[in-house]
Structure 1
Amino acid sequence: MSNAVSRRPSPVLGAQPSALTDILKAVLRLPLAVLDLMIDWQQRSEERASMAQMSQHQRRDIGLTEEDLSEMASRLRWSRHI
């Protein structure tokens, strides 16, 4: 009898080892993706707060009106548009 180990698919959910590796990598990347998203939300919130404190002269220099700032301030933190 041979001592060779046969190469069979992983018994876990019948998935191949490469598929399990891909799933594991995706699961391990999830916390980093969530952290990146939260950092983006915080940066947008800070940018909107700093724009709300701009003087009229500063707003004119960058081409923003009072209505633009009011709209930006009312957006939710996860809104992509600054």
Structure 2
Amino acid sequence: MTTIKARKQGNSIMITIPSSFGIKEGEEFFFIKKDNGAITMIPKIEDPFKNAQDGEFYDPDLNVDYMPAERELDGL
């Protein structure tokens, strides 16, 4: 596990990412901070489906035998 220290630079807090992580200069990320303080970096990609295989994101209906009860679908 690698330990890093946050430092202040101007009005920002900076965290240095070791080059061994393989992140390229200019690469963009979305940051999410959890309630427990954990920070997740998600790489930003232009088209997440560009290299998808046919059927890769298919999610079959789990409730195929579903029948609506009374008038629950009236407002749709």
TM range (shorter): under 0.3
TM-score calculated relative to the size of structure 2? 0.22
Give the number of the structure whose residues are more often strand, by fraction.
2
Give the number of the structure whose residues are more often helix, by fraction.
1
Higher relative contact order (CA 8 A, sep 6+): 1
TM-score calculated relative to the size of structure 1? 0.22
